[in-house]
Amino acid sequence: MRFPLLVAALIAAPLAAQLPPPKPDDAPSPAEIVAKAPKTDWHAIDARDLVVMDLAPDAKGHPRRVVIQLIPAPFSQGWVGNIRKLAAAHWWDGLAVVRVQDNYVTQWGDPDGEDKAKAKKLPEGLVVVPQSEYQIRFDRFEEDLIRREPKVKKLDLTKIYLDPYGRSLFLFGWPYSIKSPIPDVPVNQTLAPVHCYGMVGVGRDMPPNTGTGAELYTVIGQAPRQLDRNIALVGRIIEGMEFMSSLPRGHGELGFYDLAKGDERVPILSVRLAAEVPNLPAYEYLSTESASFARYADARANRRDPFYIRPAGGAEVCNVPVPVRRAK
């Protein structure tokens, strides 16, 4: 395995050099590129990886449905398995959003989870996942992927984003960071998912506790990349994110809702695996290995559409959200 670019200079917009510069007067925006991507560049999201959370309706009675896509193997599968069990047991039904900290996270689970006497009993069979699962050896990831994706013979590691958190890249629909124990020496590298806006993670107590998956959060502000490799990421919200991000902020410590200060928790009506949800739409994502995604990522980094006068010349990995839509 070769790593031609791992010690190369900053590659903020890795694909720019491979693309002909469009004419300034007809340069498409990232959204236009996505809208025109051929159907073959979109990949179906497996409905078996979807979890649907219905919050109580808002003050006007509008439903608030949140659709979560669980992260694929080999990442975080211990926690993902727990989440499947919790959803199958309808464990979250009647629990609540307990914390909304501005520019950080919205968190949901058992309001009494910290109180052993009052905490809701967890279903049988949840596993305890070791901290070592926060990241995965790169060679293990590659082997696993080649097994699952027969067309893949070798991963293309040339499309690297370099930022203060290290190197990151998109692989089969998800953003990952890649790190070596010794910087710039591509030996014993590990991958971990990235804490971008809308990603879903597992709340936990102090280490070595790793959380069960019963307490979850999603990122509602600037990517808190300090959490990468310190906590398990298990998925992302692909629809209904606006219901999580627009909730009233909590007035307790760390943004927890404090009933004594007049806060009200947001009730969870139900959390279900997709198989139990009637009429759930099908979803698809723009393949991160497609030419359309390459054009989209390049346009995010170098806006040439008419509103812009100076392209940035780069983009942070979390400023290139993977397009997801309902399948047509």
Write out the residues near its own copies by the rule CB under 8 A. Answer: 10, 12-13, 58-60, 100, 102-103, 131, 134, 161-166, 196-198, 206-207, 220-226, 228-230, 241-242, 245-249, 262, 300-301, 303, 306-316, 318-319, 321
Give the residue with the Cβ less far from its own copies, 50 or 219. 219
**Residue 167 or 272 having the CB closest to its own copies:** 167
Q: How far apart are alpha carbons 254 and 203 in whole angstroms?
A: 13
Q: Which residue has the tokens 């992927």?
A: 145
Interatomic CA distance for residues 35 and 22, integer angstroms: 17
**Phi, psi for residue 68 in degrees, rounded to 5:** -110, 130
Question: Between the CA of residue 197 and those of 156, 175, 317, what are the distances in Å?
Answer: 25, 11, 11
* Contact between 271 and 90 (Cβ < 8 Å): yes
User: For its own copies, which is the closer residue by CB, 117 or 206?
Assistant: 206
CA distances from 256 to 94, 96, 107, 248, 275 (A): 18, 12, 9, 11, 32
Of 181, 172, 217, 186, nearest in space to 199 by CA = 217
Alpha-carbon span 146 to 144, nearest angstrom: 6
Strand, coil or helix: 323? coil
State in angstroms the smallest separation of the CB of 152 from its own copies: 27
Q: Give the nearer residue to its own copies in terms of CB position, either 79 or 91.
A: 79
In whole angstroms, how close is the CB of 249 to its own copies at the nearest point?
A: 4
Nearer to its own copies, 91 or 197 (CB): 197
**Length of the chain measured in residues:** 328
Using an 8 Å Cβ cutoff, are 28 and 256 in contact? no
Give min distance, CB of 108 to its own copies, in A. Answer: 16
Residue (36 or 147) nearer to its own copies, CB: 36
| Residue 273 Cβ vs its own copies, minimum distance, rounded to whole Å | 26
Judged by beta carbon, residue 123 or residue 321, the one nearer its own copies is 321
Exposed / middle / buried, residue 60 (Cβ in 10 Å: 0-12, 13-18, 19+): exposed
Give min distance, CB of 93 to its own copies, in A.
25
Give me 26's structure tokens: 């007809």
Q: Count CA atoms closer than 13 A to 303's CA, side-chain side.
A: 14
Written as one string, the DSSP assignment of 32-61 is HHHHH--GGGEEEPPGGGEEEEEEPP-TT-
Q: For residues 323 and 325, what is the distance between their CA atoms, to the nearest angstrom?
A: 7
Looking at the Cβ atoms of 58 and 276, the one nearer to its own copies is 58
Nearer of residues 235 and 272 to its own copies, judged by Cβ:
235
Q: How far is the CB of 121 from its own copies (least distance, A)?
A: 26
Q: How far is the CB of 221 from its own copies (least distance, A)?
A: 6
- Distance in Å, CB of 232 to its own copies, minimum: 12
CB of 319 to its own copies, least distance (A): 6
